[in-house]
Structure 1
Amino acid sequence: MSSPLNSKSKKLKIALCIISSIVIVVLSVLAYLYNSLGKFNTVKLPSSNEELGIGKVVSDDSKEETIENNEYLNGGTITGYESDNSILNIALFGIDTGREKTDPPHSDSIIIATIDKQHNKIKLTSIMRDTYVNVSRHGRTKINEAYTYGGSLLAIKTLNENFGLDIKNYVTVNFFSLEKIIDVLGGVEITIKDYETDEINKWIMEVADLEGKSPPIIWEPGTYRLNGLQAVAYSRMRKVGGGDFERSERQRRVLTELFKELQSKGIYKYPTIASEVFPLIETSLTKSDIINAGAFIVSSGISNIEQQRFPLDGYCKGEIINSTWYLVPKPNLSVTSKQLRDYIYEDIKPKSKKPLF
């Protein structure tokens, strides 16, 4: 008959074996993931705040001012600058390349992904691509021109300087790579409205023609699991509903569904997914950044991914300036930048008002 001491010793050994097995599995997964991430396209950005446009804002008359001297910044401080890693902002650029090889890339989609550990949520914030801002050394123009003039660095600097943000990293994907990423994750569930069917099929046929594929037509409105080609077509259409405003909403919806799909796969499938997805993107994130962010997204259990768009309704107006249409923040850019910071750093949801005409 075994003594209580021997019984406890056996249970302890079993527990240690189980823990050791779990540790080995986790380390193996992390090692595999780390090796898989060796294939993606990395671009090292400057580390100084000055080169990234952090700590300065460009006022409405295009004069640079330090954060401390700018009167509309609630006493001169921005929560999030003294970073404790509780709020991580990553710029997501969707670029339109592939139609013509000579066409310079435009960031047709500009989204700030915020991993907010302080409030345990993820936020997806669109910046309208026609927003009238100052682009360093290029004057006032559409914000999506920054990527064309100076790639990811100038695009990030433009976001930071015009909105008082602290973005240090980015992910860029073109629409053809996005199609492949969506297919890797098994598609996304999207509801197609009745007024969207004709327009989405127009884009489906265009993309399918470029790729030499048979177009997967959607015949009637309803909820579908869209494949990559269909989802990209869905995120690009803009001549129905609320135009570019609704287009940015569709883009955030596709990203939200992608996050949900990633969460549903479980952490053990993450290395395999990463090995297929990351060669399709360009990013400044390090391997450690990606592993930490991915682990948080997968394991956090966050079910509500918040969405927002700036400028808000009632705080912008379309204007023709030098024969070009711009979306001009009203009454000025300062108001929009404060609303954006309040939302990202303070978790204060902004309120729209009646659109300006």
Structure 2
Amino acid sequence: MRNQIRFVMIFLLVAFANSLYAQQILLIGSDSRDENKRGNADLIMVITVKNKEVKLTSILRDTYVYIKGYGNQKLNAAYRLGGRKLLISTINANFKTRLASSIVTDFNNTARVIDSFGGITLTIDKGIHHYVNSYIGEQSYLKGVPLLPLSRTGTIKMTGDQALAYARVRVAGTCYDDHARVERQKNVTKAVISYAVKNKSVALKNISDLWSMIDTDINLKDYIKTFSSFLNKQRLPRSQVFPKGNLYTNERINGVGLVLKIRDFKRASFYLNDMIK
């Protein structure tokens, strides 16, 4: 399934949350290639800011939940079925959270945003190399332009399209499964944030362009002010994943596919709320 996420936007959310003392903001990355059609939510991440601590809590998209009006589905389907409001209300209803704010990004902007920062440095192991190049090939076809594949493994300065392909890789039944993909998403996120902090002049130069790439109701004046303030912080966010392995079983549901079926929603709700508080 196609999934492409706008990692770079995370530090914008963090900055906004810091300035307005917001506790939690939901980052939604849609897999849609069509501006007039919603896709599934392939990135579902709660940004938490408390005092000076920032946490990124990824909620696995295959978590099996009840979606009002549609019955039991994978969590990522809620965005396709009813947009950000239904996704937020679904998380709140199933896990007793109180999420209210969100920012949505989509497939088309990721590479351009990362390229605006001059690319990012990531480490590619031999096992994942050909998978990354396969996704680069797909992106080249969708865009109708030639894109450079990775010529080697190891630590590499990557373009936006290359970094996007790296984060998209998901190979069921291998060590490159959905859990590993979440970690790759975080690797990209942290690389972008690190670059922005170390290259403040470049980051500040591109803030207006970055603003135009996100779907949010944040006031532009607050955005510019808080983005500038965030760049002066040196600590990277702490990352975590929900649900943990002891909270679910892997099951195949007819008509839905392979899901993460929560064992005890009361217990799972306690853990999620504790993680994002």
Answer yes or no: same fold by TM over 0.5.
Answer: yes
State whether residues 193 and 221 of structure 1, in contact with CA within 8 Å, keep that contact through their aligned partners in structure 2. Answer: yes
Describe how 1:292-331 pairs up with structure 2 within 5 A: 293-302=226-235, 304-331=236-263
Q: What is the distance in 1 between the residues matched to 2:205 and 2:36?
A: 35
Corresponding residue for 1:91?
Answer: 26
Q: What is the distance in 2 between the residues matched to 1:137 and 1:104?
A: 18
1:110 aligned onto 2:41 = no
1:138 aligned onto 2:65 = no
Describe how 1:144-293 pairs up with structure 2 within 5 A: 144-239=76-171, 240-266=174-200, 270-287=203-220, 289-291=222-224, 293=226
State whether residues 318 and 325 of structure 1, in contact with CA within 8 Å, keep that contact through their aligned partners in structure 2. Answer: no
Distance 1:161 1:330, change over 3 A: closer
Residue type of the alignment partner of 2:27: L
Residue type of the alignment partner of 1:224: I
> By how many angstroms is 1:309 displaced?
0.9
Residue type of the alignment partner of 2:190: T
> By how many angstroms is 1:329 displaced?
4.1
> By how many angstroms is 1:255 displaced?
1.4
Residue type of the alignment partner of 1:265: N
Distance 1:164 1:288, change over 3 A: farther
CA RMSD of the aligned region, Å? Answer: 2.3
Q: What is the distance in 2 between the residues matched to 1:282 and 1:273?
A: 17
Q: What is the distance in 2 between the residues matched to 1:275 and 1:295?
A: 12
Q: What is the distance in 2 between the residues matched to 1:227 and 1:158?
A: 35
SS of 2:29's equivalent in the other structure is strand
> By how many angstroms is 1:200 displaced?
0.3
Based on CA coordinates, which of the two structures has the bigger radius of gyration? 1
1:338 aligned onto 2:262 = no
Q: What is the distance in 2 between the residues matched to 1:221 and 1:264?
A: 25
> By how many angstroms is 1:216 displaced?
1.2
State whether residues 169 and 285 of structure 1, in contact with CA within 8 Å, keep that contact through their aligned partners in structure 2. Answer: no
Distance 1:167 1:243, change over 3 A: same
Residue type of the alignment partner of 1:176: N
Distance 1:333 1:153, change over 3 A: same
Residue type of the alignment partner of 2:215: E
Distance 1:299 1:339, change over 3 A: same
Residue type of the alignment partner of 2:209: E
**Which blocks of at least 5 consecutive residues in structure 1 are unaligned?**
1-83, 346-357
Q: Deviations over 1:155-197 (max 9, x none)?
A: 1222222223232222211122011111111112111111100
> By how many angstroms is 1:292 displaced?
5.3
Q: What is the distance in 2 between the residues matched to 1:274 and 1:285?
A: 13
Residue type of the alignment partner of 1:283: T
Q: What is the distance in 2 between the residues matched to 1:159 and 1:220?
A: 41
> By how many angstroms is 1:297 displaced?
2.4
Residue type of the alignment partner of 2:193: F
Higher relative contact order (CA 8 A, sep 6+): 2
Q: What is the distance in 2 between the residues matched to 1:174 and 1:164?
A: 27
State whether residues 67 and 73 of structure 2, in contact with CA within 8 Å, keep that contact through their aligned partners in structure 1. Answer: yes
Describe how 1:25-40 pairs up with structure 2 within 5 A: none
State whether residues 251 and 258 of structure 2, in contact with CA within 8 Å, keep that contact through their aligned partners in structure 1. Answer: yes
Q: What is the distance in 2 between the residues matched to 1:142 and 1:108?
A: 11
Residue type of the alignment partner of 1:272: K
SS of 1:252's equivalent in the other structure is helix
State whether residues 30 and 38 of structure 2, in contact with CA within 8 Å, keep that contact through their aligned partners in structure 1. Answer: no
Distance 1:277 1:182, change over 3 A: same
Q: Deviations over 1:89-145 (max 9, x none)?
A: 1211111122x68864111111112223x2x22211111111011212222211111
**Which blocks of at least 5 consecutive residues in structure 2 are unaligned?**
1-18
